Amino acid sequence: MRFCTILFFCTLLSSIAICQVRNLNDVISDYEFHLKELRDQQSNSWPGNSAVQIKEEYLHYGDLKRRLRQVDNALLTGQDLINYEMLKFILEDKLEYYQYGAYMFPLNAEGGFILDMIYQTRNLQLEDISDAGDYLMKLEDTKNYIDNQIKWLRLGLEQNKVMPKLIVNNCLEVLRNAVSTDAAFLMKPLETAPIDENYNQKAKKLLTVELIPWLKKLETFLEEEYLPKTYDQVGVSNNKNGKIFYEQRVKYFTTLDMTPQEVYDTGKREVARIRAEMEAIIKDLEFKGDFADFLKFLREDPQFYAKTGQELLNQAAWLSMKAQEILPRYFNKLYRLPFTVKPVPAEIAPTYTSGRYSGGSQKDGRCGQYWVNTYNLPARPTYVLAALTLHEAVPGHHLQISLAKELEDLPKFRTTHYLSAYGEGWGLYSEYLGKEAGMYTTPYDDFGRLTYEMWRACRLVVDPGMHYFGMTREEAINFMTENTALSIHEINTEIDRYIGWPGQAVSYKIGELKIRELRSRAEKKLGADFDIREFHDLILANGSIPLMTLERIVGEYIASKKN
């Protein structure tokens, strides 16, 4: 009888668990169907931004969250539990976005929605006449899309939810460049499209008669109506309920329950630690002068700068091959999709960061791209190029993102959604791993690594400093100038990026610190049983996930190995 009772309860618990998984999968299915609808709509329209569409989005995500709360996550395990935690995190952030009204300031230092329009057309391939017809409908939707953005920007002015003058001026520069080239980015997908001359003429007429005037209308609005009413101060706390908004941004971008004060204090500690390591290198080099003199030397000595853009690209390509050599020592599983090295596109390079990774697609026949900024070469020191390569190419973003795309039997949102605390944390950890792997062959390269680490540590100070504690742009620039060997041009573009993207900059260092903490914990608890390749495979095994989830997974891995 006792055995039968136990068997009955085991069967009951199993049935309940199966029911919870089924309910979770229903929510996931509805969420992914909604995302597919949005993607399909964007073949013939820009992202929906009318008042009706935004309200529908908010209500839909609220309903999904309500249904998700009904799932008992205590009965979930493995990928089901990760799916639950990830989806809960995403939905909560989307609801916060709509509740605060962040759609009222769709601008950032690199161009905001204006640059998004350029990006959406850059790699768009029209395979047949049907695709071309859809794209013509998208062009026709441009006026409506811009009008709605103007309405939200105007409402943002009324509710004191705006971007500062600095960011608006950057966006105006991107927009003016687009208008000055007759908005050629809108015609780019048609260059190789299977269309007849009548179609081409119709598209060109639409562009010249309607779209360019509408882009100029946006330019006039930003310049004459919006810009004069924005503020000179740079922090989002100048907005209505701006501090509350920033607190939420910190929680989202760290994926941890951290406050701006905790981030700021962590940054101060890291800056002091890294500064001591940098001072030690200067001492070993027997440099005649103090820290500021050494930074001046690095910024001005021509030995640290490429003479041509191609020379800089060649160095980056060589370092990429050198980085690939170390991969089998630290990873069991490697990517299938190759990558290449390319310059940052000229139209965005002046306000763009030093480098970035642009993902590829096996399906679309496009390899991954490690972008290197060749604009303003005196601002692109080569002593940081090894660290940049490790971060953007391998074992950083190309390895991490490619492996995520290759994951099978996972909901699509798990392989496409990017959390920068995880992704950028991994990128910065990859720079740290390069030290262990012998990638930094000169003291200057190692100082460059520390400069990049210091750069991310400084972000923990200047980002909450500007957005939460009242630090000015000039104070942030001075703090970064005094503590890193970054060029003055790069420091200015970086600070502007933080101003236009509150909270995102803190994700890098917080993510790296968490991964290093988890590795240290595993090494300590497992001792001789610790396997570095196995650990790295574990960190990359589930794609982009919240750090809280990653910590739980590593804890379970340690317990399993010990038992």
- How does pLDDT run across 81-137, given as a tens digit for each residue? 999 999 999 999 999 999 999 999 999 988 999 999 998 887 788 888 888 889 999
pLDDT at site 535: 98
List Cα–Cα distances, 463 to 85, 234, 449, 485, in angstroms: 27, 10, 21, 19
Indicate the helix (H) or strand (E) that contains 558. Answer: helix 547-562
List Cα–Cα distances, 248 to 16, 252, 522, in angstroms: 34, 6, 31
Enter the tokens of residue 295: 């930074």
CA dist 374 and 371 (Å) reads 9
pLDDT in tens, 244-265: 999 999 999 999 999 999 999 9
CA dist 42 and 323 (Å) reads 38
pLDDT at site 197: 78
CA dist 243 and 510 (Å) reads 20
pLDDT at site 2: 59
3-state class (DSSP) for residue 342: strand
CA dist 245 and 237 (Å) reads 8
pLDDT at site 466: 98
pLDDT at site 307: 97
CA dist 180 and 157 (Å) reads 28
CA dist 205 and 195 (Å) reads 15
What is the model's pTM? 0.90
CA dist 446 and 384 (Å) reads 8
3-state class (DSSP) for residue 356: strand
pLDDT at site 429: 98
pLDDT at site 336: 94
pLDDT above 70 for 170 = yes
Enter the tokens of residue 554: 């590593």
pLDDT above 90 for 79 = yes
pLDDT above 90 for 541 = yes
Vertex 468, ends 462 and 469: CA angle to 5°?
A: 75
Contact 481, 462 (CB under 8 A): no
CA dist 27 and 102 (Å) reads 25
pLDDT above 80 for 1 = no
Q: Indicate the length of the chain as a whole number.
A: 563
Contact 463, 434 (CB under 8 A): no
pLDDT above 60 for 10 = no
Enter the tokens of residue 430: 């990859």
pLDDT above 90 for 553 = yes
| Burial status of residue 357 (CB atoms within 10 A of its CB: 0-12, 13-18, 19 or more) | buried
CA dist 263 and 15 (Å) reads 44
pLDDT at site 326: 95
pLDDT above 80 for 432 = yes
pLDDT band at 563 (very low <50, low <70, confident <90, very high): confident
pLDDT band at 25 (very low <50, low <70, confident <90, very high): very high
pLDDT at site 124: 85
Contact 213, 226 (CB under 8 A): no
pLDDT at site 416: 84
Contact 551, 514 (CB under 8 A): yes
Between residues 506 and 198, which one has the greater pLDDT?
506
pLDDT at site 516: 98
CA dist 395 and 417 (Å) reads 20
Contact 360, 369 (CB under 8 A): yes
Vertex 490, ends 487 and 493: CA angle to 5°?
A: 155
Of the candidate ranges 54-58, 349-353, 519-523, the one whose mean pLDDT is the lowest: 349-353
pLDDT above 70 for 521 = yes
Residue 500 CB neighbours (<10 A): 24
3-state class (DSSP) for residue 468: coil
Between residues 218 and 363, which one has the greater pLDDT?
218
Residue type, 132: A
3-state class (DSSP) for residue 370: strand
DSSP letters along 86-140, please? HHHHHHHHHHHHHHHTGGG----TT-THHHHHHHHHHT----SHHHHHHHHHHHH
Return mean pLDDT, the chain: 94
Of the candidate ranges 40-54, 180-194, 305-319, 359-373, the one whose mean pLDDT is the lowest: 180-194
pLDDT band at 159 (very low <50, low <70, confident <90, very high): very high
Q: How far apart are the first and last CA of the chain?
A: 33
Helices 397-406 & 385-392 angle (0-180, nearest 10): 10
Residue 289 CB neighbours (<10 A): 11
pLDDT above 60 for 9 = no
Domains of the chain: 2-100 (1.20.58), 113-232 (no CATH), 247-513 (no CATH)
pLDDT in tens, 410-426: 999 998 899 999 999 99
Between residues 477 and 127, which one has the greater pLDDT?
477
Enter the tokens of residue 530: 């610790």
CA dist 233 and 222 (Å) reads 18
Between residues 99 and 201, which one has the greater pLDDT?
99
- For the chain, what percent of residues have pLDDT higher than 90? 82
pLDDT at site 125: 84
Indicate the helix (H) or strand (E) that contains 369. Answer: strand 368-372
pLDDT above 60 for 3 = no
CA dist 37 and 31 (Å) reads 10
